[in-house]
Structure 1
């Protein structure tokens, strides 16, 4: 029998993949109540969170009950038509008719569509198709699960929403009892540019929405339960210390949970070949780093979202340590949360530790590969330790020579100094060390935790140099900023078990010379010596 795997692409299949019950991840009673009440509603979730899997299982569940004829249709193919209503609605209708045939066996609908439906004006064709389907067997009302709706563009999307709205009053005898719109975004967040330049919101084009249901992440218990299915199937154990790391790294984001599981149990060839070997914490951390460096499709899509103005406005302030609620509409924060990029409880922050790693790496990728400084310059031959004084002094000079030009080219200028230092450090530690990042929202600070193995052969299983760097933008007096920063740096170093700690203060005030901004001194707090660097 083929061994099941963690799934990282497409819907999960019970016989092939480790899988949590999809219907347990949604409020099935609420969904059934909405269908019973003939409501139209939205089910949305970030990409690769199990949305399609849940929809397909929901379709099977409803059809098994025998009360409804339910079909799932993915209409993403209509995206290629962009604002061409004729081509876009034609593609959507074809996909829907085919999907209904596949789900319910109703071949007559597709035959009707090819014979008569295709001749109907595109502006009324979808309404006519759904009307005909509903009237074929009115004793069993139709339910349509329409996926990837928000992939459509411009007038095609407007026409689709309005045609569904046009038939709403005829449900269930002459139109589906329920239509569920599925996508990454809630319909309220659709910003549709029509052919004449008008911007139409999804809420105005589809004002018949009764509810909006969001498919959330796994809970901490569900995350662990999914991984333990691998142990049950193969006998391979996970070291207990992994669970806390797995939760902080993913916060239950389904694709990340599965992708890390796949890296640990399949991409690690030694563990794949010998299931008697346990998955240790260090093997897990190595798998996490491979995943981050892979720039997988899911992580690429995340990076693409960072270019959206509404996303940029929120994330840039988090990276800079500012509070987005001070200047941004609540709906923008809610939108970025719906995309799965941030959490709003217990505080506003980037959603999980892997995203906190990926976002600055991706934002500084081109800077990393064009920085000429090499790792060897800062590694002491005698003990293979990073010479942090030498490294940070070199960065001071680099920052003086490049900051103004390079920060101006950053898309995220608000966090430019912090991102530039992270790019510099990432260039140095790539292929050897690790950097973990924390963003102190509202405290105008970024905490970096650098781990550097001192024995290449043993890697992180041997002795490790641990260094904390706290980055602050100067907003008040220099001495007040340093005083606050020293306390924060010492506390973070104690939390991480770091042997070395440095506080970096970026002075971006206009009119200050580089001679005034650049300095280096040491301070002692609570018996700990901390390097203080001005930039």
Structure 2
């Protein structure tokens, strides 16, 4: 079978285009931690290649012959929640079955099946199993536990404390080295016990030596992965794709693979490997991926309701990422989830997430805007009449702003999200919107691309329009002067032929008659709007 870009589960080198997994970690550092009998963590955002890397570690360690290495996924114990007996049995069973499959050692499963299935004895079941195995196994054991942070409450506390208890017995009567793998760093675990107490992972597992993390692909690695497809099939990618791929994904492995899959398989015309994959093909694939609300993107969106995430993301979406007041731990938590990068200041991790997050936050509003029709805003030449559209938005905003913004979870960014929902409702099906949150400049920039020829789509002529959104704070004239320069610069960089600066006034003491105004574009000045 021909290789393909994988978006589901661990990579298989015989099936998937893949980069050497162990190149993504410092093997010398890992070897040192293992050789020195350390218990440590590996954490990284979802679908970045953690499991693939753990499996490669097991393969290498077992091939070297000094250790018996075992990979175990313990996610099934999540459903036990605070039921320690069930949780411990599930973890122990996962270890025993993995030992049988990977190391051809059935002794753990035989021992486990001889144990009573209920009772207090199960509170130390994982400890007893690992102790017995280590005492009788001919080699030191390296245990890699995956999806540890999927466990909940008392089950997680019990597991961490059993490992901590056995730590002093290593390597003779407990595993030589243990790696715990998950999305979050252990110090970010906030474990709710059945008693109502909340403890942190660090206090339950204070023997942790290190917390390692995995980064994304770098720009060269993104190109190398796609080059594997070209080498295998002869099908080239246009050079311009790679710069856009890097900006859109920042090397996030799932996104890089998902776009590759869209281009080389989902786009059926490109299954003809004699066809060159163009930048236009890439842009269409990007939009399809965003609109698909794929599982990876859906998982990220699910986190947006968490208070710790809300406090970080809301100011960024409002164009005020420099005013985040959340604790450093919350910023680190959002970075561990893959939602943001913290330097030079907090910002959404990549351009695709920049699109997905506001769409997700405004999707219900977009669906509820039922009285707007795309054809109302098209000229005879099928161009978007942006002045007509924004006048309609002013009317819509006056009628609905107060009640609709109150429904948003992200009220701080309500005006910007409502504007984007309105635009998305009208643009969908004939155009696309790209969003950018200017770091430290208190603005949100929208680029609208509208295909002028339905038959050709984005392979034909395209109308480009820039809309810059600002919240009014301080002197209006000064804000307009600064905004004009920023809007024109952004429009020039995007190659947009038309630009608009829209300023929201959220002062409840100002009347709507004062808030709503419009100044047509003049030479060296965009269209100016008040809302």
TM-score by length of structure 2 reads 0.98
Instruction: Tell me the residue number matched to 1:340.
Output: 338
**1:361 aligned counterpart, secondary structure:** helix
| Secondary structure, aligned partner of 2:8 | coil
What's the CA shift for 1:116? 3.4
Partner residue in 2 for 1:95? 94
> Take 2:512 and 2:122, find their aligned partners in 1: how far apart are those partners?
65
- Residues 474 and 506 of structure 1 are in contact (CA less than 8 Å); yes or no, is this contact kept in structure 2? yes
Partner of 1:454: 452
Post-superposition Cα deviations, 1:47-88, rounded to whole Å, max 9, x if no partner, equal 111110100010011011111111000010011111111111
Q: What is the CA-CA distance between 1:346 and the residue it aligns to? A: 3.4
Give the aligned partner of residue 349 of structure 1: 347
Counterparts of 1:391 and 1:510 in 2: how far apart (Å)?
Answer: 25
Match among 427, 430, 433 for residue 428 of structure 2: 430
Give the secondary structure class of the aligned counterpart of 1:306: helix
Shift of 1:132: 0.9
Residue 225 of structure 1: CA displacement? 0.3
**Which whole-Å deviations, capped at 9, do the CAs of 1:432-479 have from their partners, x for residues lacking one?**
101110002332210000010111111112111110000000111211
Partner of 1:65: 64
Over aligned residues, Cα RMSD in angstroms?
A: 1.2
The whole-number CA distance in structure 2 between the counterparts of 1:204 and 1:387 is: 60
For residues 323 and 457 of structure 2, what CA distance do their matches in structure 1 show?
Answer: 42
| TM alignment of 1:443-482, pairs within 5 A | 443-482=441-480
CA distance in 2, matches of 1:117, 1:221: 55
Show structure 1 runs of 4+ deviating over 3 A: 116-120, 323-326
Contact kept? 1:117, 1:125, Cα under 8 Å: no
Aligned length: 529
Partner of 1:171: 170
> 1: CA distance between counterparts of 2:507 and 2:483?
18
Report matched runs for 1:40-59 at 5 Å: 40-59=39-58
Q: Quick one: distance in 2 between partners of 1:181 and 1:308?
A: 24
* Structure 2 residue 210 is the aligned partner of structure 1 residue 211: yes
CA distance in 1, matches of 2:135, 2:264: 51
Question: 1:479-532, CA deviations, whole angstroms, 9 ceiling, x for partnerless residues?
Answer: 1211111111011011111110000000001211111111011354xx433111
The aligned runs of 1:103-114 (5 Å cut-off) are 103-114=102-113
How far off its partner does 1:325 sit? 6.0
Alpha-carbon distance in structure 1 between the residues aligned to 2:283 and 2:440: 30
Conserved? CA contact 1:518–1:534, under 8 Å: yes
Moved more, 13-22 or 325-334: 325-334
What is the Cα deviation at residue 122 of structure 1?
A: 2.1
Spell out the pairing of 1:120-135 with structure 2 (5 A cutoff).
121-135=121-135
Task: Please give the per-residue CA displacement for 1:65-124, whole angstroms capped at 9, x wherever unaligned.
Answer: 111111000010011111111111111111111112212111112111211375771221
1:138-217 equivalence runs, <5 A: 139-217=138-216
- Structure 1 distance, partners of 2:121, 2:396, is 63
Q: What's the counterpart of residue 233 of structure 1?
A: 232
> Deviation per CA, 1:213-259, whole angstroms, max 9, x where unpaired?
11110000001100110000000000011010110011100000000
Q: Is the 8 A contact 1:117 1:128 kept in 2?
A: no
Q: Is the 8 A contact 2:263 2:281 kept in 1?
A: yes
Q: Residue 270 of structure 2 corresponds to which residue in structure 1?
A: 271
Measured in 2, the distance between the counterparts of 1:108 and 1:123 equals: 21
Aligned equivalent of 2:248 = 249
Higher mean C-alpha deviation, range 465-474 or range 111-120: 111-120
Q: What is the rounded CA distance, in whole Å, between the counterparts of 2:254 and 2:231 in structure 1?
A: 21
Separation in 1, partners of 2:325, 2:439: 14
Match of 1:391 in 2: 389
Return the match for 1:414 from 412, 415, 427. 412
2:530 maps to 534
Query: Secondary structure, in 3 states, of the residue corresponding to 1:121?
Result: helix
Output the CA distance in 1 between the equivalents of 2:90 and 2:6: 29
Q: Secondary structure at the match of 2:525?
A: strand
Q: Is 1:313 aligned to residue 311 of structure 2? A: yes
Other structure's SS at 1:383 match: coil
SS at match of 1:520: strand
Q: 1:401 to 1:325 in 2, by over 3 A?
A: closer
Whole-Å separation in 2 of the counterparts to 1:125 and 1:324:
49
Q: Are the equivalent residues in 2 in contact too, given 1:117–1:129 (CA < 8 A)?
A: no
SS in 1 for 2:69: strand
Structure-2 separation of matches of 1:282 and 1:157: 48
